[in-house]
Structure 1
Amino acid sequence: MTADSNLSSNSPIDSFSSCHDGIISHLNRFGEITSLVKAATSARKIAEDTVAFFRVAVFDHHSEEERDLFPAVLANAEPGEEQSIARTLVDGLTAEHREIESQWVRLEPKLVKLAKGHIVEIDEAAVQKLVDQYTAHARLEEREFLPLAEKILGRRDPKMAALGLALHTRHAFRAARRGLRGS
């Protein structure tokens, strides 16, 4: 008999070999831990920043638009088609504000927990829906409403309309940056 034929598949040597396979498999998974910790730390930081940012930047931005910009545009729009277009846009944008804010309120509690280091499941579809909806909302404002607002408000004083819109945009940008810094 050869040395190979003396070793059966149930020999103690095979047991040790199988044990090594299990240990190596486990250690390979363990080797992934640093990237997973980095990902978890990044997720916690993103959640923390987003929670701080959203209420300061997004809610305040919506409030300012609805309190200052939208009424000024509606009050100065020419009666007829321009007034109708402005009203349709303002009503639609305001409805989108409420929907975006409603989506946020549903996501926020878990994000707060995640920001504090708790392990939670975040609804990926809900996050993507909020991102997509806000992106579409902002693009609509940029493409249709803000040019209309500048045209309407610019009739009285072109420099004031441009300045007003610039200040509005700059203020929203500053609020967003403050939110990201957690101030």
Structure 2
Amino acid sequence: MAVGDRSKASSKERVVLGKITSVYGVRGWVKVYSHTEPMDNILNYNPWYIELNGRVQAIEVDQGKRHGKGLIAKLVGCDDREVARSYCGVDISVDQGELPELEEGDYYWHQLEQLNVVTESGVELGRVDHLIATGSNDVLVVRGTAQSIDKRERMIPYLPDQVVKEINLEAGTIRVDWDPEF
């Protein structure tokens, strides 16, 4: 089952867990969009890593909390609106080793992204581009590649044992029970 943080892997052994979206108030607080589940789990990680002006830097979270339907955070050293504005639009990442270990058969979303999707009969459907949470189950968004049967985008429900038959991280594949015509 795909569980936990809906995160994206980065190339430096860090995982993107969210984004600073905008400023909040005049005292340096920022609004945060979180890929974690529940969303406020992102506040459990410290420091956050951001790329600002082409340089990766660690920032520490002083405070954070739910606010309405989202999150807000106060960063150490960020005491006014203009400093906070400089952080808007940056991804928040953490060291991959900071993520909790999952039980066997559970995967973080970033582990499934970029895996090749093959039917049980060996037809290559494409590569997992990203996942979508729909409420009832997650969905694999599979985009065609040069090696796949066609260039179509497919939405395949992430239903272990029903549709998703095997995930092999070492081989980089997901085997599915799925009609290539669908």
For the aligned pair, the TM-score class normalised by the smaller chain equals under 0.3
Q: Which has the higher helix share?
A: 1
Q: Which has the larger radius of gyration?
A: 1
Normalization by structure 1: what TM-score? 0.20
More strand by share: 2
TM-score scaled by structure 2?
0.20
Relative contact order, higher structure (CA 8 A, sep 6+)? 1
